[in-house]
């Protein structure tokens, strides 16, 4: 088979081979859109190259044949000097999955010193010819020869100063010619050489694109977006058209719908007399496309028409690049546009309502994991102080954090738990990891389609870009917003919905979910088979969860009710009690607190199940930390009574508390606590029933690993049932591997299993939930783990235990109810798994109820 295909001869070939860009170019060519001719080197050629470290045999014969066809089609000659125009090409990467900003592009390739003269003569524009050459040398120098961009930028800035020029376009042909000479010397000083031979240029460029598949930025992106490493990228070689031939030329980016809000209609940006990279790189700030409506209505209508037709063909919101060469429109690429979660929902819903896609398709188009971000905080415009500066609202949502001036600092501060806002002149793909971890992003340059904007929207991180009043001093680690100066570390706030930036901390208010989301989730409902509950410990959380569609509570962590400052003294009193009287008093107090809490929760979830888990954590969590007391003791500062506390803390101290005196073990050793909790729940239930309400509590025993533990705990529970003459469903958590493996003998004892996948993951893989941060990032980087197992259920092992427990549990007790209440219950892929293995429900934190609802429907589609 071939390694290379012309855009016009790709019938029947798919995205996997041609890459997303190559596939779209081929489609557009076939449909008769104005696409400059070109050809694609396939992903297979890339994989072959990366495997062997050399170009596969026959590849360059095919490339030469294609270049000849381009020459014939355009009437230009590759590397041509002398008569006529030289054929120049762009070389761009294009992986099967879009990876914006990750790979590299080279424009004007094929220009040589002779070609520059020919181009200058044939166009009558020496300035344009030298500018094209200057761009080629710079891009090639950066991308292929690995010279730092800053060196070129410095020379360019100096040339402008020397020429008294304010903008790049004010440099004359001879300024640019001189600049090219300086660029060449810069490259030579680094021990490299810019090739004058166009074929060497092409070979170097193709090699660079193939190799860029493995650069660290691309790897990071693939890891974040779960794209496999062994796909490879295609390379597209396309005849150049020029947006920098004067004011009737230009370049732009268009969207068939607004990528931030989802609103229908042409949206985008345009930069006159410029080449494409100027817009995407965010180096110059372009004009909204809307302005063309007045200045060039014919062109505007043509672009709007193209946008609509592209969308109708590809059946999704399109993001396309175009160039206007002397008034003629050319399309350079199109793809499904990146969009904010808000826009994704609105676009899916509206396209279904327009009849462009089916409702089921609309449901599948939204990444369920992004839905909680729709409830993202906002800055209330009524209550906001005066903004320190304003820029473009590139990615919605509000953020408050410490300003950090580079990605590395962002990562290190965020790693220490500080919320950070990444402040940069502009962002480049090197900033990806810092952007990901930041609460917000702020840049001085760039438009709505700059790297920062596109990536932030994709990640759902609020961003304000193109803030003209922002200037940075990276050496002094400071910046200014208009009149005010700031140091790195100062707190700032930003609102990516309005583009406003504020000094200090601004109060945030909760987001609302919006009509489109509401409609989408309504469409989802009839499809899902899994029930969706919430993990909630307070009536407020329970109400919130219910509003978001939760069908009950799958986990009440009762210990959370004890951490309240008013209550913790009573928990301590219970733990430290020396006499029966002291113990009774503490239990009575705690009973009253719990009863009131249960009443609130059951009321909020009236008519729906509420699964109350009995006390789970080790008791010492309620006591002052040992080190603190020992420090006081050493300093002779122990208060009266604290000596006793210290002794107790020492006695309860565990080297490995997560594997220690907790869960059912605690309940069996201190049954009075168990009895108190059950009594509080029964008493609350009875009181509500007497009020005519419909409370539906369930009891759940944590961290069991043997049927005997369950039996013994049940004995105490049953005594309480008898005392109240009231019975409730009782279940157990399955959160130790042993419990999963002996599920068949536990099941006959209980009404339900709830998989505590947080502990089950911790105990199965042997990684601490609390400390894994020390090595997990490295593991994920190196792909030692494909995913963070604390986030996405590890199907191979934890999943397997779950399946065993489901199978053997149901075999022993067919009507056994099964659910997940670990964090995984709110993660889309894990919800799909829960659906596949036939669980009855998942339970997630309140915001993630949205994710669970949509993911459950998607799993069933
Ligand atoms: C679990 O372990 O998955 C669970 C839900 O319990 P917790 O997170 O409270 O340990
Ligand atoms: Mg647990």
Distances (CA, A) of 216 to 141, 223, 281: 19, 10, 19
Number of domains in the chain: 3
Cα 328 to averaged position of ligand 1 atoms, centre (Å): 62
451, 620, 824, 835: the catalytic one is: 451
Residue 814: Cβ within 10 Å count: 8
Ligand showing the shortest atom-to-Cα distance for residue 761: 1
Ligand 1 pocket, residue 617 CB under 6 Å: no
Q: Alpha carbon 33 to chain centroid distance?
A: 34
- C-beta of residue 412 within 8 angstroms of C-beta of residue 418: no
Q: β-strands 484-487, 491-495: how paired? A: unpaired
Ligand 1 pocket, residue 611 CB under 6 Å: no
Q: Which of residues 323, 339, 355 is at a domain's end? A: 339
Where the chain has pLDDT below 70, the residues are: 1, 81-83, 100-103, 276-284, 381, 449, 458, 510-513
Ligand 1 atom with the smallest distance to the CA of 758 is 3
Q: Alpha carbon 471 to chain centroid distance?
A: 28
Ligand 1 pocket, residue 757 CB under 6 Å: yes
Ligand 1 pocket, residue 555 CB under 6 Å: yes
Ligand showing the shortest atom-to-Cα distance for residue 555: 1
Cα 736 to averaged position of ligand 2 atoms, centre (Å): 9
Looking at the structure, do residues 499 and 582 belong to the same domain, yes or no? no
Ligand 1 pocket, residue 537 CB under 6 Å: no
Q: Which of residues 274, 309, 339 is at a domain's end? A: 339
Backbone angles phi, psi at 396, to 5 degrees: -70, 165
Q: Which domain holds residue 333?
A: 241-339
Ligand 1 pocket, residue 758 CB under 6 Å: yes
Q: Write the DSSP string, 178-214.
A: HHHHHHHHHHHHTT-----SHHHHHHHHHHHHHHHTT
Rg (CA), the chain: 32
What is the distance between the alpha carbons of residues 672 and 668, in angstroms, rounded to a whole number? 9
Residue of 756, 767, 827 to test ligand 1 pocket, by largest number of atoms within 8 Å of CB: 756
Ligand 1 pocket, residue 756 CB under 6 Å: yes
Question: How many residues can be counted in the chain?
Answer: 861
Q: Is 11 domain-assigned?
A: no
What is the distance between the alpha carbons of residues 340 and 395, in angstroms, rounded to a whole number? 7
| pLDDT of the residue at 103 | 63
Is 653 part of the annotated catalytic residue set?
A: no
Short-list 93, 111, 104, CA closest to 18: 93
Looking at the structure, do residues 541 and 685 belong to the same domain, yes or no? yes
Looking at the structure, do residues 730 and 843 belong to the same domain, yes or no? yes
Looking at the structure, do residues 332 and 435 belong to the same domain, yes or no? no
* Residue 573 burial by Cβ neighbours in a 10 Å radius (0-12, 13-18, 19+): middle
Q: Is 435 domain-assigned?
A: yes
Q: Is 105 domain-assigned?
A: no
The residues near 174 (Cβ < 8 Å, ≥ 6 apart) are none
Looking at the structure, do residues 498 and 553 belong to the same domain, yes or no? no
The residues near 436 (Cβ < 8 Å, ≥ 6 apart) are 224, 459, 461
Looking at the structure, do residues 398 and 461 belong to the same domain, yes or no? yes
Q: Is 77 domain-assigned?
A: no
Is 451 part of the annotated catalytic residue set?
A: yes
Residue 850: Cβ within 10 Å count: 28
Ligand 1 pocket, residue 759 CB under 6 Å: yes
620, 821, 832, 835: the catalytic one is: 821
Largest CA distance in the chain: 107
Cα 537 to averaged position of ligand 2 atoms, centre (Å): 15
Q: β-strands 484-487, 478-481: how paired? A: antiparallel
CATH of residue 599: 3.20.20.60
Q: Is 245 domain-assigned?
A: yes
> Could you tell me the two tokens for 457?
């929207």
Short-list 830, 860, 859, 858, CA closest to 844: 830
Q: Is 477 domain-assigned?
A: yes
Looking at the structure, do residues 680 and 549 belong to the same domain, yes or no? yes
Residue of 537, 759, 790, 798 to test ligand 1 pocket, by largest number of atoms within 8 Å of CB: 759
Distances (CA, A) of 286 to 157, 323, 837: 20, 14, 52
Nearest CA owner, ligand 1 atom 1: 756
Short-list 2, 84, 54, CA closest to 210: 54
Q: Is 38 domain-assigned?
A: no
Looking at the structure, do residues 673 and 743 belong to the same domain, yes or no? yes
Ligand 1 pocket, residue 105 CB under 6 Å: no
Nearest CA owner, ligand 1 atom 6: 756
Looking at the structure, do residues 812 and 689 belong to the same domain, yes or no? yes
Residue of 534, 537, 555 to test ligand 1 pocket, by largest number of atoms within 8 Å of CB: 555
Nearest CA owner, ligand 1 atom 4: 756
Looking at the structure, do residues 482 and 551 belong to the same domain, yes or no? no
- Per-residue three-class SS string for 495-517: ECCCCEEEECCCCEECCCCCHHH
Ligand showing the shortest atom-to-Cα distance for residue 615: 1
| pLDDT of the residue at 849 | 94
- C-beta of residue 29 within 8 angstroms of C-beta of residue 35: yes
Residue 268: Cβ within 10 Å count: 27
CATH of residue 475: 3.50.30.10
CATH of residue 268: 3.30.470.20
Short-list 412, 394, 259, 272, CA closest to 336: 259
Would you state the torsion angle of the CA atoms of residues 345, 350, 353, 358, taken in this order, to the nearest 10 degrees? -50
Ligand 1 pocket, residue 761 CB under 6 Å: no
The SS3 assignment for 688 reads: helix
The SS3 assignment for 640 reads: coil
Average pLDDT of every residue of the chain: 91
> Could you tell me the two tokens for 496?
């990516």
Looking at the structure, do residues 579 and 680 belong to the same domain, yes or no? yes
Q: Is 40 domain-assigned?
A: no
The pTM score is 0.82
Ligand 1 atom with the smallest distance to the CA of 757 is 3
| pLDDT of the residue at 500 | 93
Ligand 1 atom with the smallest distance to the CA of 754 is 5
Backbone angles phi, psi at 603, to 5 degrees: -65, -45
What is the distance between the alpha carbons of residues 818 and 580, in angstroms, rounded to a whole number? 40
Cα 6 to averaged position of ligand 1 atoms, centre (Å): 56
Ligand 1 pocket, residue 557 CB under 6 Å: yes
- C-beta of residue 462 within 8 angstroms of C-beta of residue 401: no
- ipTM (interface pTM): 0.99
| pLDDT of the residue at 100 | 56
> Could you tell me the two tokens for 569?
């003294």
The SS3 assignment for 106 reads: strand
Looking at the structure, do residues 552 and 417 belong to the same domain, yes or no? no
Residues 225-268 pLDDT 10s: 788 888 999 999 999 998 888 889 999 999 999 998 899 999 99
What is the distance between the alpha carbons of residues 443 and 423, in angstroms, rounded to a whole number? 6
- C-beta of residue 608 within 8 angstroms of C-beta of residue 617: no
Ligand 1 atom with the smallest distance to the CA of 557 is 9
The SS3 assignment for 770 reads: coil
What is the distance between the alpha carbons of residues 796 and 487, in angstroms, rounded to a whole number? 48
């Amino acid at each position: 088979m071939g390694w290379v295909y012309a855009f016009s001869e790709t019938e029947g070939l798919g995205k996997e081979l041609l890459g997303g860009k190559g596939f779209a170019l081929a489609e557009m060519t076939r449909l008769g859109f104005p696409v400059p001719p070109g050809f694609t080197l396939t992903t297979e050629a890339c994989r072959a190259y990366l495997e062997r470290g050399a170009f596969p045999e026959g590849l360059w014969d095919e490339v030469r044949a294609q270049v000849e066809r381009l020459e014939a089609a355009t009437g230009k000659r590759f590397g041509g000097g002398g008569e006529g125009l030289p054929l120049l090409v762009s070389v761009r990467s294009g992986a099967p999955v879009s990876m914006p900003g990750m790979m590299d592009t080279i424009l004007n390739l094929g220009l040589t010193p002779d070609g520059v003269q020919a181009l200058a003569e044939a166009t009558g524009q020496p300035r344009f010819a030298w500018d094209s050459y200057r761009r080629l040398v710079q891009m090639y120098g950066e991308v292929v020869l690995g010279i730092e961009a800053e060196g070129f930028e410095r020379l360019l800035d100096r040339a402008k100063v020397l020429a008294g020029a304010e903008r790049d376009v004010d440099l004359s042909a001879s300024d640019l010619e001189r600049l090219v000479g300086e660029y060449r010397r810069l490259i030579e000083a680094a021990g490299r050489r810019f090739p004058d031979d166009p074929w060497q240029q092409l070979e170097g460029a193709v090699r660079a694109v193939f190799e860029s598949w493995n650069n660290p930025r691309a790897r990071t992106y693939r890891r974040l977006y779960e794209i496999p490493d062994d796909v490879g990228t295609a390379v597209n070689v396309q005849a150049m058209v020029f947006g920098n031939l004067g004011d009737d030329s230009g370049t732009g980016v268009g969207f068939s719908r607004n990528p931030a809000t989802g609103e229908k209609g042409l949206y985008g940006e345009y930069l006159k007399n410029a080449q494409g990279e100027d817009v995407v790189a965010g180096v110059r700030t372009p004009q909204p496309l809307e302005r063309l409506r007045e200045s060039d209505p014919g062109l505007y209508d043509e672009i709007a028409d193209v946008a609509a037709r592209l969308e109708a063909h590809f059946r999704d919101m399109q993001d396309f690049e175009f160039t206007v060469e002397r008034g003629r429109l050319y399309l350079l690429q199109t793809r499904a546009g990146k969009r904010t979660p808000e826009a994704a929902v609105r676009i899916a819903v509206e396209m279904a309502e327009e009849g462009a896609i089916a409702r089921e398709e609309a449901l599948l188009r939204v990444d369920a994991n992004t839905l909680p971000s729709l409830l993202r905080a906002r800055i209330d415009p009524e209550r906001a102080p005066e903004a320190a500066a304003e820029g473009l609202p590139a990615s919605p949502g509000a953020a408050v954090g410490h300003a950090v001036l580079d990605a590395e600092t962002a990562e290190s501060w965020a790693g220490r738990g500080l919320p950070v806002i990444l402040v940069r002149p502009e962002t480049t793909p090197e900033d990806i990891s810092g952007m990901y971890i930041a609460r917000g992003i702020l840049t001085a340059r760039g438009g709505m389609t700059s790297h920062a904007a596109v990536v932030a929207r994709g990640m759902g991180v609020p961003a304000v870009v193109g803030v003209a009043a922002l200037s940075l001093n990276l050496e002094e680690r400071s910046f200014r917003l208009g009149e005010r100066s700031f140091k790195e570390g100062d707190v700032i706030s930003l609102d990516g919905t309005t583009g406003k930036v504020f000094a200090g901390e601004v109060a945030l208010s909760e987001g609302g979910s919006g009509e489109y989301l509401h409609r989408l989730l309504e469409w989802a409902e009839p499809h899902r088979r899994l029930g969706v509950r919430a993990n909630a410990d307070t009536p407020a959380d329970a109400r919130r969860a219910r509003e978001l569609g939760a069908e009950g509570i799958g986990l009440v962590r009762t210990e959370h009710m004890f951490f309240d400052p008013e209550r913790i003294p009573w928990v301590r009193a219970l733990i430290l009690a020396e006499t029966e009287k002291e113990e009774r008093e503490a239990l009575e107090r705690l009973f009253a607190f719990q009863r009131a809490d249960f009443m609130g929760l059951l009321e909020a979830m009236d008519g729906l199940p509420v699964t109350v888990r009995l006390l789970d954590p080790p008791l010492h969590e309620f006591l002052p930390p040992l080190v603190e007391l020992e420090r006081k003791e050493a300093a002779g500062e122990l208060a009266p009574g604290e000596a006793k506390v210290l002794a107790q803390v020492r006695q309860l101290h565990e080297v490995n508390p997560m594997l220690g005196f907790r869960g059912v073990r605690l309940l069996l050793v201190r049954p009075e606590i168990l009895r108190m909790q059950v009594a509080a729940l029964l008493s609350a239930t009875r009181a509500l029933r007497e009020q005519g309400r419909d409370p539906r509590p369930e009891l759940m025993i944590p961290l069991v690993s043997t049927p005997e533990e369950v039996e013994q705990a049940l004995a105490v529970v049953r005594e309480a049932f008898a005392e109240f003459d009231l019975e409730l469903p009782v279940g157990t958590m399955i959160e130790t591997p042993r419990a999963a493996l002996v599920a068949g003998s536990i099941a006959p004892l209980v009404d339900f299993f709830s998989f505590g996948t947080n502990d089950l993951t911790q105990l199965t893989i042997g990684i601490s939930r609390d400390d894994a941060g020390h090595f997990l990032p490295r593991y994920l980087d190196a792909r030692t783990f494909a995913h963070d197992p604390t986030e996405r259920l590890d199907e191979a092992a934890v999943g397997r235990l779950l399946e065993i427990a489901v199978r053997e549990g149901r075999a022993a007790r067919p009507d056994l109810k099964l659910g997940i209440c670990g964090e995984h219950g709110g993660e889309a892929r894990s919800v799909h798994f829960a659906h596949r293995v036939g669980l009855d429900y998942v339970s997630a934190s309140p915001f993630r109820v949205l994710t669970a609802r949509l993911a459950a429907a998607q799993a069933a589609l």
